[in-house]
Amino acid sequence: MTETVAAIVAAHRAGTMTPAQTVARSYQRIRDHNDPAIFISLRDETDALAEAGRLTDPTLPLYGVPVAVKDNIDVKGLPTTAACPAFSYMPAQDSTVVARLRAAGAIIIGKTNLDQFATGLVGVRSPYGVPRNPVRDDLVPGGSSSGSAVAVSAGLVPLALGTDTAGSGRVPAMLNNIVGLKPSLGLISTAGVVPACRTLDCVSVFSLTVDDAMTALAVMAGPDSADPFSRDRPLGTVAAFPAKVKLGIPRSGQLIFFGDREFEKAYGEALKRWQALGVNLVEFDLEPFYETARLLYEGPWVAERYLVIRDLLASAPEAIHPVTREITAAGSRLTAADTFAALYRLQALRRTAERAFAQLEAIVLPTAPTVYSTAQVLANPVELNSRLGTYTNFVNLLDLCGLAIPAAMRPDGAPFGITLLAPAGRDAELAGIGRVFHADTGLPVGAKALPQPPLAAAPTDVDRDEIAIAVVGAHLSGMALNGELTALDARLLEEAATAPDYKLFALDTVPSKPGMLRIDAGTGASIKLELWAMSPKAFGTFVAAIPPPLSIGTIRLADGREAKGFIVEPAAINGAKDISAYGGWRAFVAGRT
C-alpha cells in the first residue's frame, strides 16, 4: 500500500497514482475517520486538488505528498489560532517551512489541533476538543502536537509538522506509534511560527519511518534571514549503520518509570536489541540532565511563554485555557536576577553534558516513563503532564537533537518508544542509527497495523568531515582521469544516476570528456554517474584544477538527493554531439570501440 512518503512519491513518479488521487484519498480518510478534534481548519478540497493537478516536476522530493501543519505555524489562506480563538489571525504569507514544503511538491491540507499555545505534553488543553488516540482510545494523544501526531498515526496524511520546545515532537510520537524527529535548534526556520519559548522552539516532523522524516527535514533545513535564531549548519547525509557505535544509558537506579513495570521491562528489551545490533552501551550520569529539565518550568523560561500571551492575559484572561493560564502567569513574577542566575547554571550544565557526550555517538532514553489516560490527566493535569516530560524537558536547553522511535507494544496495547539524543548537528547520524533499530523491531507503523516497508539501502555513506562529488565522465572508475581522484584519497561511495533533467554532450577535448547540461525538469535524460567522497581540503584542490568549459554545480539525483558535480558551460555545447541517449559516458565510450 502506498502509505509512506517514499511509497507515495514512487507511485506518483511511476504513474500508478496521481497527486490529485492521493490528496483526494486523504480528504476521504479524514471524513471516514470522523474525529473533528484532529484538525482546527481544513483547506478547501477543491483548492488542494487543483494545486496537486498543477504539479509538473516528478523529481520533486515531496511530489504530491499531503501534509498537515500544526496550528501554530502559518499557512497562507488558513487562520493561525494556536488553539485559542481569541488569538486567531490570518497570516499574510506562508511560514518559511511551509513555503519550502510547497516548493518541494507537498500539498498542505489543513491545520491541526494542539495544546493551547503549545503548552503541554498531553493534548487535552484545547477548546477544539481532544483528538482520539487511534492506537488506544482511552490514552491521551500526547501534546502539544496532538493533532499532527494523530493524523499521521491514523493514516490521514503520511507527514505532519509539529513544534517541540519541551518534548512536543517526541511524546506524541511515542503515544501514536510513529517517528518524531526533533531537529537541532536553528536547523529549520521558525519564521512564521507562534513562539512558545522563542530561544528553545523548533519545528518537528512526524512520519511513519525515519527515512520519510529525513526527506522532509532535508527539504526544510537551511538558514533563513527572516529568523534571527536560524543557523547555517550542514545537515549531512544519512549513512549506513556504523561498525562501532557507543550509546549512553543512565547509571543503574537513575531511571524513573513511576511504577510502570512494563515500560521498565520494555526499555531493558530495547537495550538488548541495541546490543544485538552490535552497539556498545556505556553508562553515564543522568542527574545533570534532570537538573536541567527542572530549569525549564521552575526557571525563567516560563517568562518566554508569558511574553507571547501577556496582552491576552491582561485583556481577556478567560480566553486562555485555565491550566495554560496558571502555568504562563507565573512568568510575570520572575526577575532579571532570576534569569541570569538560571543562565549561569545552565551554562555549567551544558559543559557537563558535553563531557558526557565526548565518547558517545548518542544517548538512548525512554521517550516517556509511562502513559496516562485522558481521564487521569484531566483529574491531575499539571503533575501527570510533568511526568511525561521526564526525558524530554532538558533537550532544547542543552542544544541537543533528538529522534523518537517506536520500540514495543505493552501487553495492554499501550505503545512504548525510545529517543536517541545527541549534540546539535548530529541529526543525520541519529537517523542512520535509528532507522536500523526501528526496522529491527518489526513493529507495524502507526495505528493501522501496516507493515513497515523494507529498509531501503543506506543513502550515501559520507562522513561528517567529507564532501560528496558526482563525476560523469573521464573521472569515472577505470577512466583516464580517475587517478586525479584517487591521488587525493577520494573514495568511491556508490553508482547513481541523475534526475531526467540533463543532456550529455561529447566535447572536443584531450582526453575526451563529456559535458552535462541541465535543462527543464523532466525533459532530459537520466545520466549514470559515480559519487565519490573527499575531504574539504582535497575538494578545494580538485575543484581549483578543473579547466573550462567544465565547472562544479549542484546535481539533482534520481532519488531526490543533491550532490556537487560536473556541469558544462552552455556556450561549449555548440557543435558538440548530443550523446544523452547512451545514458552515460561509459556506455558512449564502449559504443565507440
pLDDT-based confidence at residue 559 (cuts at 50, 70, 90) = low
The catalytic residues are 70, 144, 168
| 293 grid coordinates | 529539565
Query: Domain end: 392, 425, 441, which one?
Result: 441
pLDDT-based confidence at residue 316 (cuts at 50, 70, 90) = confident
Q: Residue 563 forms beta bridges with which residues?
A: 555
Q: Tell me the residue type at 266.
A: A
pLDDT tens column, 23-52:
999 999 999 999 999 999 999 999 999 999
Helix axis angle, 381-388 to 322-329, nearest 10°: 70
Helix axis angle, 261-276 to 427-441, nearest 10°: 100
Q: How many residues does the chain have?
A: 593
| 267 grid coordinates | 526499555
First to last CA, the chain: 46
Q: Tell me the residue type at 188.
A: I
Angle, alpha carbons 523-528-533 (nearest 5°) = 120
In CATH, what number is assigned to the domain containing residue 512? 3.10.490.10
Mean pLDDT for the stretch of residues 458-466? 60
Query: Which uninterrupted H or E stretch holds 340?
Result: helix 336-357
Given this model, what pLDDT does residue 26 score? 98
Given this model, what pLDDT does residue 340 score? 86
Q: Is 371 part of any domain?
A: yes
pTM (two decimals): 0.79
pLDDT-based confidence at residue 554 (cuts at 50, 70, 90) = confident
Sign of the CA dihedral running 371, 372, 373, 374:
negative
8 Å CB contact between 65 and 58: no
Mean pLDDT for the stretch of residues 223-232? 93
Q: Are 401 and 502 in the same domain?
A: no
Q: Is 414 part of any domain?
A: yes
Q: Are 429 and 532 in the same domain?
A: no
Taking each continuous run of H as one helix and of E as one strand, the counts in the chain are 18, 19
Q: Are 364 and 250 in the same domain?
A: yes
Residue 462 contacts by C-beta under 8 Å, 6 or more apart in sequence? Answer: 236, 237, 239, 468, 493, 533
Given this model, what pLDDT does residue 244 score? 86
In CATH, what number is assigned to the domain containing residue 437? 3.90.1300.10
Given this model, what pLDDT does residue 591 score? 81
Q: Is 362 part of any domain?
A: yes
Q: What is the pLDDT of the chain when averaged over all its residues?
A: 91
Q: What is the DSSP string of 360-384?
A: -SEEEEESSS---BHHHHHHSHHHH
> Could you give the dihedral angle defined by the CA atoms of residues 458, 460, 461 and 467, in that order, rounded to the nearest 10 degrees?
-160
Least confident window among 73-87, 104-118, 366-380, 492-506 = 492-506
Query: Which uninterrupted H or E stretch holds 524?
Result: none
Q: Is 263 part of any domain?
A: yes
Q: Is 92 part of any domain?
A: yes
8 Å CB contact between 132 and 223: no
Q: Are 549 and 418 in the same domain?
A: no
Around Cβ 269, how many Cβ atoms within 10 Å? Answer: 13
| Beta strand residue intervals within 183-298, DSSP E | 202-207, 245-250, 279-284
Q: Are 76 and 140 in the same domain?
A: yes
pLDDT-based confidence at residue 337 (cuts at 50, 70, 90) = confident
Q: Are 435 and 486 in the same domain?
A: no
For residue 433, which of 405, 409, 460, 452 has the smallest C-alpha distance?
Answer: 405
Per-residue burial over 550-565, b = 16 or more CB atoms within 10 Å of its CB, e = otherwise: beeeebbbbbbbebbb
Name the residue with cell 481532544: 130
Q: Are 426 and 495 in the same domain?
A: no
Does residue 447 register a pLDDT over 60? Answer: yes
Counting the structural domains of the chain, the total is 2
pLDDT-based confidence at residue 560 (cuts at 50, 70, 90) = low
Does residue 570 register a pLDDT over 60? Answer: yes
CA–chain centroid gap for 460, Å, is 18
> Could you give the dihedral angle defined by the CA atoms of residues 207, 208, 212 and 218, in that order, rounded to the nearest 10 degrees?
30
Does residue 79 register a pLDDT over 80? Answer: yes
Residue 159 contacts by C-beta under 8 Å, 6 or more apart in sequence? Answer: 5, 62, 65, 66, 67, 68, 106, 152, 205, 206, 207, 212, 216
8 Å CB contact between 107 and 23: yes
Given this model, what pLDDT does residue 512 score? 83
pLDDT tens column, 366-418:
999 999 999 999 999 989 999 999 999 999 999 999 999 999 999 999 999 99
pLDDT-based confidence at residue 421 (cuts at 50, 70, 90) = very high
Q: Is 52 part of any domain?
A: no
Q: Are 489 and 556 in the same domain?
A: yes
pLDDT tens column, 207-226:
999 999 999 999 999 999 99
Q: Are 256 and 405 in the same domain?
A: yes
Least confident window among 283-292, 329-338, 454-463 = 454-463
8 Å CB contact between 194 and 147: no
Does residue 63 register a pLDDT over 60? Answer: yes
Q: What is the distance between the alpha carbons of residues 278 and 240, in angstroms, rounded to a whole number?
A: 14
Query: Domain end: 407, 441, 475, which one?
Result: 441
Does residue 431 register a pLDDT over 90? Answer: yes
Given this model, what pLDDT does residue 464 score? 57
Q: Residue 423 forms beta bridges with which residues?
A: 400
Q: Are 240 and 361 in the same domain?
A: yes
pLDDT-based confidence at residue 301 (cuts at 50, 70, 90) = low
Query: Domain end: 403, 424, 441, which one?
Result: 441
Q: Are 490 and 346 in the same domain?
A: no
Does residue 103 register a pLDDT over 90? Answer: yes
Q: What is the distance between the alpha carbons of residues 391 and 174, in angstroms, rounded to a whole number?
A: 12
| 292 grid coordinates | 536541567
Q: Is 56 part of any domain?
A: no
Q: Is 317 part of any domain?
A: yes
Query: Which uninterrupted H or E stretch holds 93?
Result: none
Given this model, what pLDDT does residue 458 score? 60
Q: Are 175 and 254 in the same domain?
A: yes
Given this model, what pLDDT does residue 139 score? 98
Range(s) of the domain holding residue 475: 467-592
Q: What is the distance between the alpha carbons of residues 78 and 164, in angstroms, rounded to a whole number?
A: 22
